[in-house]
A = this chain, B = another copy of it.
């Protein structure tokens, strides 16, 4: 992702600039693997996320992903060294984005009650799972077994960071009596209830993410509907 930050504006002669490279001034050249490839890499990630989510990792072919990105069959391997690497990148992207969104969400509730903080966490979690462009995290939730050990432990660390955001809030709610179950199991059950929504939520139906948030808050901490 730093590859994008350092991208200079497009040179006037467009694609031909690649065929007749000018001597780079200032910044050092990027290696082949980090080179700027416009948004093709991001296109691949989005296509892969959508396909992995709907068909599963093993049932999706790299040819499917290439076609969905308007490429030929071998081309994804110019951007990613293997199908596995693509899966891992999808999950990493999903977790980084989810973490950033939850941190913002919590910050906006600074000084508010634990109840409001939980509501914010729940609402953002539903948005991450069910909102627009929301294929990345569901892939992580449902395809974790396709990772190798190293990838798995790296993602586990990100998941631990994510859960760490919930713990103090849940602890407070347990102390006040609003959360009436051991905090450890409560966290697992609560997140499970939210994560499972991926299986049944239908954006074309009546229920909205706000409805789900209200229902979850009522169910878990007995909070009646509150406009946030």
Contact = CB atoms under 8 A, between A and B. Distances in A.
Interface string A140-157: 001001100000000000
A196 B188 contact: yes
A190 interface: yes
Contacts of A59: 58, 146
Interface in A199-226: 199-200, 207, 211-212, 214-216, 218-220, 222, 224
A185 interface: yes
A182 interface: yes
Interface of A: 54-59, 142, 145-146, 179-182, 185-186, 188-197, 199-200, 207, 211-212, 214-216, 218-220, 222, 224
A68 B145 CA distance: 20
A48 B40 CA distance: 39
B56 A181 contact: no
